[in-house]
Copies of this chain bind each other. A is one copy, B any other.
Amino acid sequence: MTTESPQDRLERAKEASRATARLTSDEKGRALEGIAVALEENAETIIAANARDIENGRQNGIGDALIDRLRLDGTRVSALASAVREIAALHDPVGQVIGGHRMPNGVNLEQVRVPFGVVGAIYEARPNVTVDIAALALRSGNASVLRGGSAARESNTVLVQVMRDALESAGITPEAVQTVDDFGRDGAKALMHGRGLIDVLVPRGSAALIETVVTESTVPVIETGAGNVHIVLDESAPDDWAREIVVNAKVQRPSVCNAVETVLVLRQAAPRLVPLVASALQSEGVAVHGDDMVVGLMSNVIPATEEDWATEYLSLDVAMKVVDTLDDALAHIRKYSTGHTESIVTTDSRNAERFLAEVDSAVVMANASTRFTDGSEFGFGAEVGISTQKLHARGPMGLSELTSTKWLARGAGQTRG
């Protein structure tokens, strides 16, 4: 590996992508099953490599939360294999005819889904992403080049090797799955500047990582991620819906991007809903950061600062603010939202429809928990990520979002007049 450059790997992935693009759905399914079996069979080796990452991590003083995300044990390796089998069971989007017609001159025009070619991914210390992205890419006929965080380097090296060996056993070029982890920062740079070799690059991780990838890349990027998610409660919001939706959106899984971060309460509803909702949150262990009005209506509220409105806590914290009108709520959302998910709780259909129409986010809800913004909840089976950009994909991404399209024209000598 010493004389190789990251560029060499990208080129081999590109070459391999010509082969993966032509695999049948059955062939890809068998290869994925082979990968699942290989992960199970190599569990010990994987766990041993992971133990070295964890040991290194402890020596480097990384926190317990990160250690937990990094850790692979028997159960988690089985979960990796199960995830691959779930991906294998997904409908293959490649070859789907999504448009077309016969031109007046008789040329038959067809728009079909084709693999992108090479999918790049830059992510942080989660070894499960290594397997997920490689499997999702392969299911949709793509090769993949992976750049995980250095904290998971030993784990990723073994996982990639296990997957490559399984591909080879299935008669597929192992070059279809590549890692550039061993090149460190140069590996990420090669991905971000791999014009003509990387067809789409997906960053997954912190807002800072995503910002870096979006800003530095010269290849097309799908921006995923950050969710500074809002729920608005208007004067018509029923007590139970307001309480249940906000508590569910905050508490059910606070560490994920679709968890609510700020609750905006319309002034007329504030005396009724602020104490009701804030106390329900507090009884679930949530720290409420409120503006002056909220502080005045409820005890044990931490005074909120400007920073709170912009913060994606990803923890048992929530910001709460009283606004005069729906216009003010919409203006607040425009200013602070990351365009992921917002919801309104209301029984006033004018407010609901106005909110749905005017909020410029990937998913806009009325009377439902923001936690529903999720690939499996949306019926996609597996999650490639949640796009917060408007180009190509917006919101939860399924396998189709890992494909491009191509026009096929079949004629009989036609020329243009």
Which residues of chain A have a CB within 8 Å of any CB of chain B? 18, 21-22, 101, 103, 107, 109, 111, 114, 116-117, 195, 199-200, 214-215, 218, 220-222, 238, 240-241, 244-245, 247-249, 252, 343, 352, 356-358, 360-369, 371-373, 377-379, 389-392, 394-396, 404-416
Known: A395-B407, A415-B248. A200 touches B356 (CB 8 A): no
CB–CB A406/B362 < 8 A: yes
Is A413 a contact of B103 with CB atoms below 8 Å? no
Quick one: closest B residue to A107, CB to CB? B368
Known interface pairs A103-B372, A358-B18, A390-B220. Does A415 touch B364 (Cβ–Cβ under 8 Å)?
A: no
Secondary structure type dominating chain A contacts: mixed
Q: Is the CB of A215 within 8 A of B218?
A: yes
Give chain B residues whose Cβ lies under 8 Å from the Cβ of A18: 358, 360
Which 9 A-B pairs give the minimum distances between C-beta atoms? Answer: A368-B411, A248-B415, A390-B404, A392-B392, A241-B413, A371-B416, A220-B391, A365-B409, A367-B411
A404 with B394: in contact, given A409-B364, A410-B368 (CB under 8 Å)? yes
Instruction: Looking at the assembled complex, report how far the CB atom of A16 sits from the nearest CB atom of chain B, in whole angstroms.
Output: 13
Residues of B within 8 Å of A408, CB to CB, are 356, 363-365
Identify which of B109, B117, B352, B361 contacts A360 (C-beta below 8 A): B117
19 more CB-based (< 8 A) A-B contacts, given A199-B390, A391-B404 = A22-B358, A117-B390, A195-B214, A220-B221, A252-B415, A360-B406, A363-B408, A363-B409, A365-B409, A366-B409, A368-B413, A368-B415, A369-B414, A371-B415, A392-B392, A394-B406, A395-B405, A395-B406, A396-B407
Query: Within the assembled complex, what's the spacing in Å between the Cα atoms of A1 and B241?
Result: 51
Between A and B, 17 residue pairs with Cβ closer than 8 Å are A103-B377, A107-B368, A199-B390, A199-B391, A214-B218, A244-B413, A249-B415, A252-B415, A343-B409, A365-B409, A365-B410, A367-B411, A367-B413, A371-B416, A372-B414, A394-B404, A395-B405
A233 to chain B, nearest CB (A): 13
**What is the CB-to-nearest-CB distance from A79 to chain B, in angstroms, rounded to a whole number?**
20
What separation, in Å, do the CA atoms of A25 and B180 have in the docked complex?
49
- Cα A365 to Cα B406 in complex, Å, equals 11
Chain B: minimal CB distance from A208 (Å)? 15
How far is B207's CA from A79's CA once the two chains are assembled, in angstroms?
Answer: 48
Per the bound structure, the CA–CA distance linking A413 and B243 in Å amounts to 10
A109 CB contacts on chain B under 8 angstroms: 378
Q: Known contacts A248-B416, A391-B391: does B405 contact A365 (CB below 8 Å)?
A: no
